Amino acid sequence: MKPYTILIIDDEPQMRNLVRTFLAKDGYVVEEATDGMDALTKVYNLQPHLCIVDVMMPYMDGFEFAKELKRKTNIPIIFLSAKGEEWDKVEGLKIGGDDYIVKPFMPGELIARVESVLRRSYQHQHKSQELTVGPLVIDHLAHKVTLNNEPISLTVKEFGILETLARNPGRVYTREQILSLVWGDRHKSTDRTIDTHIKTLRLKLGEAESMIETVWGIGYKLEVK
């Protein structure tokens, strides 16, 4: 099960960076578009699970983008806007928006709204969100891991690393690939960060620590023992 991919559509670089930071820290794969026209091109290539759309944009505003998107897909939409008038919220929901967040907002509010929309939109796929690899069961939606039916407490990054490796047992992931998939921004962390998290992850796996194998000079892989 791949992490959810979220497309941020906003003409303001600072807002895109802010939202990207919040979402990447929570384990989402984040892509960006600068306006509605740019977004329509990227949507069909990326097939995101969710679009977060600024209402006020040049060329094609958020509402026009939403109308076009909903003609061809069922991808959920969360609108972002500095306009908090009731009319705008109602209009956004009427044309197919799944939620409407008024700027400025707190990180926790954004993450909670994103989780709620994804849960409503994809809850019928919940069973497929559970990944079983040997004695490990990884529940993406609940963000839980059990080992031999016993729960393991993992941080967000430890969970992301384990889930990434478990998606393709036997495949070797480089440290750079893990950074990109789990952190979302290669330039804010180092290879040493991965090694440190792998070390603590192995400790938490206890007797199953050998499932995570080091491939010297390349990276890591997960093997079923």
Average pLDDT over residues 45-53: 91
Number of domains the chain is built from: 2
Extract the tokens encoding 38: 């740019």
* Confidence band of 6 (pLDDT split at 50, 70, 90): very high
Residues 143 and 193 both lie in one domain: yes
Regarding predicted confidence, which is higher, 59 or 14?
14
Regarding predicted confidence, which is higher, 83 or 162?
162
Between the alpha carbon of residue 124 and those of residues 3, 9, 49, 60, the distances in Å are: 16, 27, 14, 33
pLDDT at residue 18 is higher than 90: yes
Q: Among 78, 95, 124, where does a domain finish?
A: 124
Residues 146 and 118 both lie in one domain: no
* Residue 215 phi, psi (nearest 5): -105, 100
- Please give the pLDDT value at position 186: 46
Residues 140 and 118 both lie in one domain: no
Domain of 99 in residue numbering reads as 5-124
User: Where residue 101 sits, what CATH number does that domain have?
Assistant: 3.40.50.2300
Between the alpha carbon of residue 159 and those of residues 64, 135, 196, the distances in Å are: 37, 16, 14
- pTM for the model: 0.56
Contact indicator for 103, 74 with CB cutoff of 8 Å: no
Average pLDDT over residues 163-190: 79
Residues 119 and 9 both lie in one domain: yes
Residues 105 and 141 both lie in one domain: no
Residues 120 and 168 both lie in one domain: no
The rounded distance, in Å, linking the Cα atoms of 63 and 28 is 24
